[in-house]
Amino acid sequence: MKTLSPRHLLTASALAVTVGLGLAAAQDAPQPDISPEASQQAQEAANNNEPLSAPATASSQVMPDSFADLVQQVAPAVVNITTSAVVAQPTGGEGGPMFPEGSPFSDLFRDFGIPGMPGQEGQGSPRMPQRSNALGSGFVISADGFIVTNNHVIEGADEIEIEFYSGETLPAKVIGTDPNTDVALLKVESPDPLPFVEFGNSDEARVGDWVLALGNPLGQGFSASSGIVSARNRELSGTYDDYLQTDAAINRGNSGGPLFNLQGEVVGVNTAILSPNGGSIGIGFSMASNVVSTVVDQLREFGETRRGWLGVKIQDVTPDMAEALGLAAESGAMVTDVPEGPAKEAGMRAGDVITSFAGSPVEDTRSLVRRVAEAPAGEPVEVVVQRTDGPVTLSVTLGRRETAEGAGDTPQAGGNAAPEDILGMSLSVLTPEMAQEMGLEGDMKGLVVREVDPASEAAEKGLAPGDIITEAGQQPVASIADLNARIDETREAGRKSLLVLVRRDGEPRFVALPVGER
């Protein structure tokens, strides 16, 4: 589990530091009170290769009288995970606390002869590496022993042990991991089929729906907590983030555990909490099951992820950009650059606004990135782009993101051409000499931003010296006259803003600048 900090990282490995000597006792913690009937039913379901599910009455209740029946039904598929790894120890005395040299604490402890303080005789020699243990949670997704957890639970481990609800333990091996979504897939070899649960559709989870979190918080053994879906589509720090937020209590050690709906389906994998102190304050995050299930399928089949790759750089469409383009809605993803790749081969251009992908509308860049990543590499997909003359449908054969990403230009400020003041900026034509000084291609055309009036709209939109304007009104600009012509055309069309393409440090982006009156 990650804590977002102030956001302490709620990693399972951090638990070894927090719980410390409590680890051995945690392994002997009592298991849930699962009735013999429930255990027998779970094993029969496993033998028949059927997932565990909630009692039929649970889904019809607005507010359950109790979660006990649901816990009894799905608990046999929830596991505790113990990992161990050899870690290097800092230099210093055996068993002594470590403080920075020169701090008041180091002086105090040295005066009292506490071992381990810098500057003491005999101290400073390397300490022997030691084995460190950590705890986490997970859940079984197939009768033949596949288990899902968080990547940070098992990252760096050289031994992984799975403890089942019955108390039985089995060693596990790593099938594959995906740090981008913090998902890991493990496998155990069991002589008998294992009770398992299945993924639900996280897109159907509504804010206010009841959810149940199961796991191994703080090494205390099996534990259940309930709450509601507090929010959907939360983005924390990753490219593919799609978290359900919940107020169900989850803490360190809950990492990798399942978040169930009332039907007994996994709608999320408990991954992180927002906390000022490392403990639950009712803001937890579970990676949505629709993201996890796609990753798990790929890890199961290939041992790695194989995400689709469109081959474009994009940005969100802002209201002023929509006005400048004459778009009816402020949705879609604006294409800022099309390097060599699938999109360029299909005829996509910088300035296109992607409005539909694989038959579904594109709301913003985040939704597009997720949908492209989930699409299979090597297969064609229909992409609808909006241009000034109307929508165009392109057929793009997606590449594979993991192997096909490229790098961009790296322009820097420079040049000595005479500048002219336009739209709050001092601009000069990019010459071959300037391009060479800035590390650009010699045939690159555009206008170099020399200065920006701090009180101008250009400054407010983030333009800065060294930026290069290569397009205006979705047409190339190679001179001041070109830019002035685009400004005139914008005013004549009755639009308030001109869309310009700006390149900075190899990254292109569109900016809508107000053109004002004649």
Q: Which residues are catalytic?
A: 152, 182, 255
d(CA 333, CA 357): 11
Strand 266-274 to strand 2-4: parallel, antiparallel, or no bridges (unpaired)? parallel
Instruction: Output phi, psi for 294, to 5 deg.
Output: -65, -45
Burial bucket for residue 95 (CB in 10 Å: 0-12, 13-18, 19+): exposed
Q: How many residues does this entry show for the chain?
A: 518
In DSSP terms, 257 is beta-bridged to: none
Q: How many of the other CB atoms lie within 10 Å of CB of 448?
A: 25
439 annotated binding-site participant: no
How many Cβ atoms from other residues are within 10 Å of residue 110's Cβ?
18
CA angle 499, 503, 509 (to 5 degrees): 50
Pairing assessment for the beta strands 353-357 and 380-387 based on DSSP bridges = antiparallel
Residue 152 marked in a binding site: yes
167 annotated as belonging to a binding site for a ligand = no
Local structure of residue 199 (DSSP, 8 states): B
Measure the CA–CA gap between 282 and 248, rounded to whole angstroms: 6
Cβ neighbours around 432 below 10 Å, total: 12
Closest listed residue to residue 83, CA positions, set 128, 132, 129: 132
Angle at which helix 365-374 crosses helix 289-302, to 10 degrees, equals 30
Is there a binding annotation on residue 253? yes
Q: Which of 107, 110, 75 is nearest to 96 (CA)?
A: 110
> Does the annotation place 473 within a ligand binding site?
no
Residue 31: DSSP 8-state: P
> Pick from 327, 347, 341, 353: which is nearest to 510 by CA?
353
Binding residues: 152, 182, 253-255
Q: Which residues are annotated as a binding site for substrate?
A: 152, 182, 253-255
